[in-house]
């Protein structure tokens, strides 16, 4: 029998999708407070647990959505998502629901963990590197494709089209999709850029060219070394573009790379079969008008 996986949840990725996927009008507490993100998130968890059958599960959190050390390297990192007050631009109705999600997770007995000055991606990268496999990472964030590792049996469940239509990506599937292996994905993403994260990429280098460069030279170290080697065969026009973007590349590579060494203590990863605090769960379900979602996840845990 195949071992059951550790399921790592990119919580912010899922609750943002839940908020925009479930209308506020469809899920309100008795006092009128929107709880659409809470309901959607709990139902996504239920769907993932039923579909993937994990025996361990951790919900990862952004303790810092824009870590200072990444901003120091690349000031444009997520800068377009800053509010005038310096916080993240999140809908007020969603921001108010995040503590409720954490309350439900605590009552269920599902571990939720973040790390100071790090994003959930870094927590996922660290746990995927240290915890026994198999590991499956549920996310809508392409940056996490870099944690795929066939040798350690780490796969990504890409939720770009929702948790009911997962793309299960191992190294072969990623290579078929982008033309690069998981080990080269961070360098590929750095070259290509990502406007949603404030990463400009190298001007004039698109996705196909970035993939060809990584495939030919093995990654940024090989690409940058090729700039100084006349025998490397870099076309003059392309060479000029990379030279112009060299300073960006050398800084951005450490911004894009997911950390695997975040100091996180031992965690309880075992997926509970019953709520840790049934009375508290019932209280939350009644207060927020989410008896249906609470029952669905309790029934899923008891399977």
Q: What is the pLDDT along the chain (303 residues), one digit of tens a residue?
A: 479 999 999 999 999 999 999 999 999 999 999 999 999 999 999 999 999 999 999 999 999 999 999 999 999 999 999 999 888 999 999 999 999 999 999 999 999 999 999 999 999 999 999 999 999 999 999 999 999 999 999 999 999 888 989 999 999 999 999 999 999 999 999 999 999 899 999 999 999 999 999 999 999 999 999 998 888 889 999 999 999 999 999 999 999 999 999 999 999 999 999 999 999 999 999 999 999 999 999 999 998
* Exposure letters 78-115 (e unless 16+ CB within 10 A, then b): beeeeeeeeeeebeeebeebbebbebbbbbbbbbbbbb
What pTM did the predictor assign?
0.95
The reported pLDDT for the residue numbered 300 is: 98
Distances (CA, A) of 173 to 135, 139, 192, 213: 16, 16, 19, 19
CB of 56 closer than 8 Å to CB of 269: yes
The pLDDT assigned to 302 comes to 96
pLDDT of residue 225: 93
pLDDT (0 to 100) of residue 85 = 87
pLDDT at residue number 269: 98
Whether 49 and 58 have beta carbons less than 8 Å apart is answered as no
């Amino acid at each position: 029998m195949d071992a059951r996986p550790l399921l790592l949840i990119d919580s912010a990725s899922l609750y943002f999708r839940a908020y925009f996927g479930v209308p506020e009008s469809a899920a309100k507490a008795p006092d009128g407070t929107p709880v659409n993100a809470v309901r959607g998130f709990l139902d996504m968890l239920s769907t993932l647990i039923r579909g993937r059958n994990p025996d361990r599960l951790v919900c990862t959190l952004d303790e810092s959505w824009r870590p200072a050390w990444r901003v120091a390297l690349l000031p444009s990192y997520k800068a377009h998502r800053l509010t005038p007050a310096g916080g993240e631009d999140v809908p007020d109705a969603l921001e108010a629901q995040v503590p409720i999600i954490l309350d439900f997770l605590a009552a269920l007995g599902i571990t939720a963990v973040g790390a100071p000055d790090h994003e959930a991606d870094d927590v996922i990268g660290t746990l995927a590197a240290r915890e026994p496999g198999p590991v499956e990472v549920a996310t809508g964030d392409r940056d996490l494709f870099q944690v795929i590792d066939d040798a350690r049996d780490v796969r990504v469940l890409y939720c770009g089209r929702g948790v009911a239509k997962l793309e299960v990506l191992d190294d072969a599937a990623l290579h078929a999709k982008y033309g690069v292996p998981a080990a080269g994905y961070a360098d590929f993403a750095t070259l290509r850029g990502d406007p949603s994260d404030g990463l400009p990429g190298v001007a004039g280098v698109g996705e196909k060219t970035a993939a060809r460069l990584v495939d030919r030279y093995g990654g940024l170290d090989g690409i940058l070394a090729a700039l100084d080697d006349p025998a490397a065969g870099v076309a003059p026009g392309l060479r000029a573009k990379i030279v112009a973007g060299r300073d960006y590349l050398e800084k951005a590579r450490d911004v894009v790379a997911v950390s695997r060494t975040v100091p996180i203590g031992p965690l309880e990863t075992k997926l509970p079969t019953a709520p840790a605090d049934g009375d508290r769960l019932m209280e939350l379900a009644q207060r927020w008008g989410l008896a249906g979602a609470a029952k669905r996840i309790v029934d899923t845990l008891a399977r």
